[in-house]
Amino acid sequence: MTVTVLGRRLPAVVTYVVALGLSLVLMLLTVGAAIWQTNRGVELNEAVRASLETRSHLRLLLRALQDAEIGQRGYLLTSQESYLGPYFSAVESVPRELEALEAAAGANAARQAEVIQIRELAVRKMDEITQTVSLARNGRRNEAMLIVQTDTGFNLMNQLRAAIAAAEAREQADVVERMAAVDRSAGQLRLIVIGAGALLIAVGMLLVGAVRNAMRELRASRDEARSAHERLMQEMGVREQAESKVRQMQKMEAIGQLTGGVAHDFNNMLAVIISALQLAQRRLARGETDIARFTDAAMDAARRAATLTSRLLAFARRQPLQPVVLDPNRVLGGMQELLRRTLGEQVEFEMVLGGGVWRVNADISELENAIVNVCVNARDAMPGGGKLTIESANAFLDDAYAASNIDVTAGQYVMIAVTDTGAGMAPEVKAKVFEPFFTTKEIGKGTGLGLAHVHGFLKQSGGHVAVYSEVGHGTTVKLYLPRTNLAETETPTLAVTEDLPPGDPATIILVVEDDERVRGLSVASLRELGYTVLHAESGARALEMLDTHEGIALLFTDIVMPGMSGRKLADEIKRRRAHVKVLYTTGYTQNAIVHNGVVDSDARLLLKPYSLAELARKIRAVLTE
């Protein structure tokens, strides 16, 4: 490609490179000259400052010597000690000012010579004053007056004044000379800037002309290519729509083929479970307790339903598991850098590893994949950035929790929790998070198999996954892996059974929970322990009940609730009744709740899920504080 410059056709690239290079050289020349001039100005300012400082020390020295001489004469005339004050001050200040002058002189030969002369005169003058004062103080005033009458001191002072005046004059002359030099360099800089500016304008005008000519030639090519591009885009759009329809049809066909068989099997298993549970309910309603075969049938159907999970995981191209005994903290520690890169700079990342975490028997690669899948989902829930917290801790899932979660076996587990501060999930979305192919992401942004993979892996490993989420507050995903005793250093830990602390019916507890099922179980548990329980579904309703019941001793509230949060509710109740104690509960982890600023670090907190024994001990501990 060529361009026209001054009527000649030149290679476009060479022309632009030369023009830009010349412009860059001119700019560098201007900037360099400006920097040089700035340095000259800085040097001038430093010289002026040093000159002013030197002149100040000269004047202070002269003043001190004059004051000492005045004090000397006053004392010789009156013999009063009060006149010697200026003399004693000069004894201290004169050496100090001389040292300052020597330091200011530096390597300047002229200044050094002046300082040497001034020092000699000042020392002689102070010696003359000191001698006369000493003679007078020793009763030899006449001898002192004879020394004064020789005019030695007078002559020394005149020489000092002359030397100091000469030094000040030289300092002034140096400053004037430097200012004149700076003015001359400023004039030179002005000429350089004007010349460089003129050349830049000329180069710019040449470039503008060349670009105009090039643009004129390109417009014709652009108009010609535009119509061709529009035709091509139309063809591509039609083809893309057709391909998208084909892909969607193929996907729906594959999903239909997979889910058709799965739905058939699930319907059969659900029919067994529902029928067995309904028969068990009817017999229990009649007072009969022979329901073991119905519960066995329901459990058998549930186990067969869990087997279908492995089929979905096989569809996700999972390899057979190769479990090994491993330390979860070591796995998490080794993943920190990978997770930081995966999460990106917009997400604040924190890892809180519990002490003494048990070992587990799991496939390390699948465990890492599960953690990454959960973290990626959490990152995608925070498109504008946020905070992600990973924690590890020992946990015990008791029989009560296992009873409310049919696929959980009571026992000791290691918990790995991933908490984000994203948008959270509505109940209808949370209910589907583990379904294969279910996703809330845009088309092409997710397969819907990530959490299904996590869910299936944990089930195949004998673990459990729980999700706690509130819209607008974030989500916590808890991964539970069973503790193993295979390691030689590990010994089985037997659960210690102990009596539950009994409750006092005179103690009234107010339970506040927006989830009706959780609230009902909490109320039933506290009443089972022996407490008198009131309950409310919101903070506003709880405040109404507070006004009508005077004897409430403890508030047991969820932290994250719609409308009024548990923290705000507790603050308001404390304001009204300072004696009421507070116990928080949440599905989020302790570090996620405290570090994200929801409650104070010293707040009393009971994490979900909790056993009846944990609830009893925590309630008793708060009440007896």
Q: How many CA atoms lie within 13 A of 268 on its CB side?
A: 10
The rounded distance, in Å, linking the Cα atoms of 385 and 256 is 37
3-state secondary structure of 447: coil
Q: Which of 283, 279, 282, 307 is nearest to 294 (CA)?
A: 279
Residue ranges in 530-611 assigned as alpha helix (H): 539-548, 566-576, 590-595
The pLDDT, as a whole number, for residue 581 is 95
Q: What residues are paired with 53 via a beta bridge?
A: none
CATH number of the structural domain spanning residue 366: 3.30.565.10
* Omega of the bond leading into 383 within 30 degrees of 0 (cis): no
Least-confidence region, from 53-62, 402-411, 601-610: 601-610
- Has residue 217 been placed in a domain? no
521 domain residue, yes or no? yes
pLDDT, tens only, 132-144: 888 888 988 888 8
Are both 515 and 581 inside the same structural domain? yes
CA distance 71 to 227: 104
Q: Is the pLDDT of residue 300 over 90?
A: no
pLDDT of residue 317: 39
In this structure, is residue 104 part of a structural domain? no
Task: Specify whether 332 is located in the same domain as 441.
Answer: yes
Tell me the CA distances in angstroms from 463 to 258, 367, 570, one per residue in order.
25, 11, 35
pLDDT of residue 488: 39
> Strands 324-326, 2-5: parallel, antiparallel or unpaired by DSSP?
unpaired
Could you tell me if 341 and 418 lie in one domain?
yes
Structural domain for 463, as ranges: 327-482
Q: φ, ψ for residue 185 (rounded to 5)?
A: -65, -35
Q: Are strands 8-11 and 347-353 parallel, antiparallel or unpaired?
A: unpaired
Is the whole model's pTM more than 0.75, yes or no? no
Say which residue, 552 or 493, is predicted with more confidence: 552
Residue 27 pLDDT grade (very low, low, confident, very high; cuts 50, 70, 90): confident
Tell me: do 342 and 447 sit in the same domain.
Answer: yes
Indicate the range of 46-60, 261-275, 543-557, 565-579 predicted with least confidence. 261-275
Same domain for 385 and 520, yes or no, is no
Amino acid letter, residue 492: P
Count of residues in the chain:
625
Residue 489: CB atoms within 10 A of its CB come to 5
Please state, in angstroms and rounded to a whole number, the distance separating the CA atoms of residues 475 and 382: 11
pLDDT band at 272 (very low <50, low <70, confident <90, very high): confident
Q: Looking at residues 483-488, what average pLDDT do you find?
A: 75
Angle between helices 152-285 and 12-78 (to 10 degrees): 130
In this structure, are 537 and 619 located in the same domain?
yes
Q: Give domain status of residue 187, yes or no.
A: no
Arithmetic mean of pLDDT, 7-33: 76
Per the structure block, which two tokens stand in for 470? 């509130």
Closest CA to 154 of 55, 72, 85: 72
Type and span of the H or E element at 230 = helix 152-285
Tokens of 350: 């924190």
**Which residues have a Cβ under 8 Å from the Cβ of 565 and sit 6 or more positions away?**
539, 559, 598
Among 155-159, 275-279, 402-406, the range with the most confident prediction by mean pLDDT is: 155-159
Which of 42-51, 440-449, 520-529 holds the top average pLDDT?
A: 520-529
Q: Is residue 190 part of a domain?
A: no
Contact 308, 266 (CB under 8 A): yes
Q: What is the mean pLDDT of the chain?
A: 82
Q: Given the DSSP bridges, would you call strands 347-353 and 474-482 parallel, antiparallel or unpaired?
A: unpaired
The rounded distance, in Å, linking the Cα atoms of 569 and 557 is 9
Please give the pLDDT value at position 15: 73
Question: Of residues 130 and 111, which shows the higher confidence score?
Answer: 130
Longest pairwise C-alpha distance within the chain: 139
Q: Which of 77-91, 279-293, 338-352, 525-539 has the lowest mean pLDDT?
A: 279-293
| Mean local confidence (pLDDT), 244-256 | 59
Whether 477 and 343 share a structural domain: yes
**Which has the closest alpha carbon to 606: 553, 556, 531?**
556
Tell me which H or E stretch contains 2: strand 2-5
End-to-end CA distance of the chain, in Å? 86
Tokens coding 125:
């003058």
**Measured between alpha carbons, how far is residue 355 from residues 310, 391, 417 in Å?**
33, 11, 15
Please give the helix or strand (H or E) that residue 474 lies within, else none. Answer: strand 474-482
Asked whether the predicted pLDDT for residue 309 surpasses 60, the reply is: no
d(CA 200, CA 202): 5
Q: Are strands 8-11 and 2-5 parallel, antiparallel or unpaired?
A: antiparallel
Mean pLDDT of all residues in 291-301: 79
Tell whether the model's pLDDT for residue 59 goes beyond 80. yes
Measured between alpha carbons, how far is 616 from 381 in angstroms, rounded to an integer?
Answer: 36
CB atoms within 10 A of CB 587: 22
Between 143 and 582, name the one with better pLDDT.
Answer: 582
Rounded Cα gap, residues 277 and 553, in angstroms? 39
State percent of the chain over pLDDT 90: 24
Say if residue 475 is in the same domain as residue 351: yes
Residue 277 lies in a domain: no
CB 57 within 8 A of CB 104: yes
Q: What is the pLDDT of residues 379-424, one digit of tens each?
A: 988 988 899 999 999 999 998 888 888 788 999 999 999 999 998 8
| CB-based contacts of 122, cutoff 8 Å, min separation 6 | 61, 65, 94, 98, 160
The verdict on residue 1 lying in a domain is no
* CATH number of residue 560's parent domain: 3.40.50.2300
Q: What is the pLDDT of residue 496?
A: 43
pLDDT of residue 249: 63
Q: Is the pLDDT of residue 600 over 80?
A: no
Residues 331 and 472 in one domain: yes
The amino acid at 227: S
Query: Residue 153 corresponds to which amino acid?
Result: G
- Which residues have a Cβ under 8 Å from the Cβ of 243 and sit 6 or more positions away? none
User: Tokens for 8?
Assistant: 């000649």
Of residues 409 and 259, which shows the higher confidence score? 409
Instruction: Choose between 202 and 543: higher pLDDT.
Output: 543
Do residues 522 and 561 both lie within one domain? yes
- 590 pLDDT tier (thresholds 50, 70, 90): low
pLDDT attached to residue 265 = 58
Q: For residue 83, give the DSSP letter.
A: G
The pLDDT value recorded for residue 3 is 63
What string of DSSP letters covers 566-588? Answer: HHHHHHHHHHH-TT-EEEEEESS
Domain match, 450 and 563 both: no
Q: Is 481 helix (H, G, I), strand (E, B) or coil?
A: strand
Q: Express the helix, strand and coil content of the chain in percent, nearest 5 each.
A: 65, 15, 25
Regarding whether 561 and 468 lie in a shared domain, the answer is no
Q: Which of 239-248, 303-312, 468-477 has the highest mean pLDDT?
A: 468-477
Residue 592 within a domain: yes
> Hey, which residues does 477 pair with through a beta bridge?
418, 467
362 three-class SS? strand
Asked if 420 and 386 count as a contact pair (C-beta separation under 8 A), the reply is yes
Q: Residue 552 class from Cβ within 10 Å (0-12 exposed, 13-18 middle, 19+ buried)?
A: buried
**Number of domains forming the structure of the chain:** 2
- The answer to whether the beta carbons of residues 455 and 434 sit under 8 Å apart is yes
